Amino acid sequence: MLSGFKQFILRGNVVDMAVGVVIGAAFGGVVKALTDDLLMPFIAAIVGKPDFSAIHFTINGSAFPVGLFINALVAFCLGGRSRLFLCRNPVNALIAGCARPSSGRSDTKKCPECLSEIPIDARRCAHSRSR
């Protein structure tokens, strides 16, 4: 029983996923600091203090703190946007820069009879039966 668990844990995918979760949690702290310490004060400098926590209403003695939801929504939007610019865009640019240019050679050719695409190694076209 323990050996099966050990094999499962030591598989490459599980270890890679665990490392990804740990790095993601650490990156979450960086994004939170970016949002709280740089972006929110920048917005506060432009439009005033962006603290909506005082906004609330009461119905039959029950308080609805709508402002806390608005604060969380603003933080989510800023955090998501900063993750987009800090993570996805640079990685996509890196992948596009590392991609190998195509050799220009196609894996298919056109049938001389019906002009359908056929594999280069094919001896006959399936549509027109030409050679």
* pLDDT tens column, 13-27: 777 787 788 888 888
What lies within 8 Å, CB to CB, of 63 at 6+ separation is 56, 57
In percent, the amount of the chain with pLDDT more than 70 equals: 86
Handedness of CA 7, 10, 12, 13 (dihedral sign): positive
Mean pLDDT in the chain?
78
pLDDT tens digit sequence for 76-89: 887 777 777 777 77
Distance (Å, rounded) from C-alpha 59 to C-alpha 66?
A: 13
What domains lie within the chain, and their CATH numbers?
2-100+107-119 (1.10.1200)
DSSP state string for 20-43:
HHHHHHHHHHHHHHHIIIIIHHHH
Query: DSSP class of residue 82?
Result: H
- pLDDT classification of 50: cutoffs 50, 70, 90: low
Q: Where are the alpha helices (DSSP H) in 84-126?
A: 89-98
59 falls in which pLDDT band (50, 70, 90)?
very high
